[in-house]
Amino acid sequence: MSKPPARRERSSESDPSLPSSEPGRTRRSSRRMAATLSQPRASLHDLGCARIERALAQRVRYRYVKPTVLREGEAYLITSPCCSRNVDPDGGVINIALLSPLEGGGWLLCSHDHDTGQWLQHDEAPHMQPLLEEVCLDPDRVFWP
């Protein structure tokens, strides 16, 4: 009678579907994880822009135009086409608001004086959300003229 064939040991080095030395990880998932970690992540600024854009979608005034959120250093600049033609008779893009982080924490909201071209301090808050609500509601038409 012949001997049964010798059993070959399988290891994670020879078979990537087998777990590696890390519990719960295969070599394939480790490679995939390494590739993911080497790719650039979305920055906090990008998340901030997305958060502001979502809030602006809920605004009361001029819902038929699409405002733009741009980064200006550490701040966020909100611009929009001028629908009312009060500021730009040709309907060009105008500044709406500027949200800047404060040193020590919190946020500063500025409105734009279109006559002088200056940014005016409007309000401060420890979090961005109440300031975004002010921009979106704007009962006095400070931001959306």
Place of tokens 């295969």: 26
Find how far residue 61's CA is from the centre of its chain: 23
Higher pLDDT, 138 or 16: 138
**Least confident piece of the model among 43-47, 48-52, 54-58, 136-140:** 43-47
Tell which residue, 100, 108, 96, has the closest CA to residue 66. 96
Cβ contact 103:71 at 8 Å: no
Model confidence at 114, pLDDT cuts 50, 70, 90, reads confident
pTM of the full predicted structure? 0.66
pLDDT for res 109 = 98
The secondary structure of 72-101, three-state, reads: ECCEEEEEEECCCCCCCCCCCEEEEEEEEE
For 23-46, what is each residue's pLDDT tens digit? Answer: 554 455 445 544 444 444 445 557
Domains in the chain (CATH in brackets) are 13-42 (no CATH), 44-137 (2.40.128)
Higher pLDDT, 58 or 90: 58
Position 126 pLDDT exceeds 60: yes
